[in-house]
A = this chain, B = another copy of it.
Amino acid sequence: MKDEFEWIKTISPASHKQSSLILGIGDDAALIKGSALDQIVCLDTMVEGVHFTKATLTPFHIGHKALAANISDIAAMGGIPLFYLVSISIPAGWDEEELSRIYKGMAALAEEYEMDLIGGDTVSTTGPLVLSVTVLGQVEQGRKLLRSNAEPDDLVFVSGPVGDSAAGLSLLLERSHQGKFSKEESLLVKEHQLPLPHVEAGRILAKSDRRVALNDISDGVASEAHEIAEASGVSITLFYDKLPKSEAIKHYPGEMQDEWMLFGGEDYKLIGTMSPDGFPEVQAACEKAGCCLTVIGRVSKGSPGVVLDRGTSVEKLSKAGYNHFSD
């Protein structure tokens, strides 16, 4: 990079989409009109060699994914994503063309939601590339889709198939993103590289004005279900046969499917719980909007934890692996 100031000019948007934005990039800080809606703020960091490599993601994917992870957190609060700020620590080995593609990956996804890039910091590093994104969003006053909201007799749902991203990653680790993939494999690879957060489902759940516990599946179904169980002080039973599974992973060995579906991360679907009586209405609204909620389990009283019901057997499901009940 020749000049930080010149570089910032190349990534600064020429115009903005949110009318509440008073001032974006170009001063000491961004300035946004106040709003009666509640604000949501989150931050997510990706490190080269830890969260991705040049073999698994192109620069465009890196940008897309860093922003998607944050938008997914906004979705899990039922919110509308509005603004983002980018901290990028750049090693000597990355050229301006690659860096520009990272920003294009973010901008393309931001476009979907009419989000504006409003600030950040561009620095050099002797280490790997570090990309940290902060997202601001908003949600109707008093709506709290917290993981602590689950209650006994709630049903547990997810907003889409799980495990595809982990399956895609395993293909990428095997062949890199320049490898050849069948049509079905490409679907899995795409779920890893260009995941789409489930903002619409989050919005429908928020607008239902019902008690909803909600998480996005960044760390795998088992881990997220555990977080809800622990925060709410309840026991969660997941029905193995109900877990939505994409066609593309069905012909892999069962053990691999299990690993991906239960413990694979970065799916960016939503997992939540709510009372059964409110569910049909929310499910119908989702279907109308082109998203799909599937019931995958039940909440019950009991010591906080997660249980996997396989029909013929019941297992205690740990956060990162599962153990059969000792009998």
Task: Give A residues with C-beta under 8 Å from B.
Answer: 22-23, 26-47, 49-51, 72-74, 76-77, 79, 83, 85-87, 89, 91, 118-121, 123-128, 130, 132, 134, 136-139, 141, 144, 146-148, 214-216, 231
Let me know if A41 and B30 touch, CB within 8 A.
yes
Let me know if B132 and A76 touch, CB within 8 A.
no
**B-side contacts of A128, CB under 8 Å:** 125-127
Let me know if B124 and A50 touch, CB within 8 A.
yes
Asked whether A38 and B42 contact (CB < 8 A) given A77-B28, A127-B130, the answer is no
Let me know if B22 and A144 touch, CB within 8 A.
yes
Q: Which of B44, B119, B138, B214 contacts A121 (CB 8 A)?
A: B44
> What's the nearest-Cβ distance from chain B to residue A182, in Å?
33
Distance between Cα atoms of A39 and B85 in the complex (Å): 14
Q: Which of B34, B44, B79, B89 contacts A47 (CB 8 A)?
A: B89
How many copies altogether?
2
**B-side contacts of A121, CB under 8 Å:** 43-45, 132
Let me know if A132 and B87 touch, CB within 8 A.
yes
**B-side contacts of A136, CB under 8 Å:** 41
**B-side contacts of A146, CB under 8 Å:** 23, 27
**B-side contacts of A50, CB under 8 Å:** 123-126
Asked whether A85 and B28 contact (CB < 8 A) given A123-B50, A126-B128, the answer is no
**B-side contacts of A124, CB under 8 Å:** 47, 50
Distance between Cα atoms of A85 and B128 in the complex (Å): 22
Let me know if A123 and B47 touch, CB within 8 A.
yes
Distance between Cα atoms of A278 and B123 in the complex (Å): 38
**B-side contacts of A39, CB under 8 Å:** 31-34, 39
Asked whether A41 and B83 contact (CB < 8 A) given A36-B34, A49-B126, A76-B29, the answer is yes
Asked whether A45 and B123 contact (CB < 8 A) given A22-B144, A28-B215, A132-B132, the answer is yes
**B-side contacts of A214, CB under 8 Å:** 28
Let me know if A34 and B31 touch, CB within 8 A.
no
> What's the nearest-Cβ distance from chain B to residue A313, in Å?
29
Let me know if A118 and B22 touch, CB within 8 A.
no
Q: Which of B28, B34, B72 contacts A35 (CB 8 A)?
A: B34
Let me know if B42 and A29 touch, CB within 8 A.
yes
A-B contacts, 28 of them at CB < 8 A, read A23-B144, A28-B214, A28-B216, A29-B41, A29-B137, A30-B41, A32-B38, A32-B39, A32-B41, A34-B36, A34-B38, A34-B141, A36-B36, A39-B39, A41-B118, A41-B134, A41-B136, A42-B85, A43-B120, A45-B87, A45-B89, A50-B123, A51-B123, A87-B87, A89-B130, A125-B130, A127-B127, A130-B130
Closest 9 CB pairs of A and B: A127-B127, A29-B42, A28-B76, A87-B132, A28-B73, A45-B121, A32-B39, A45-B87, A134-B134
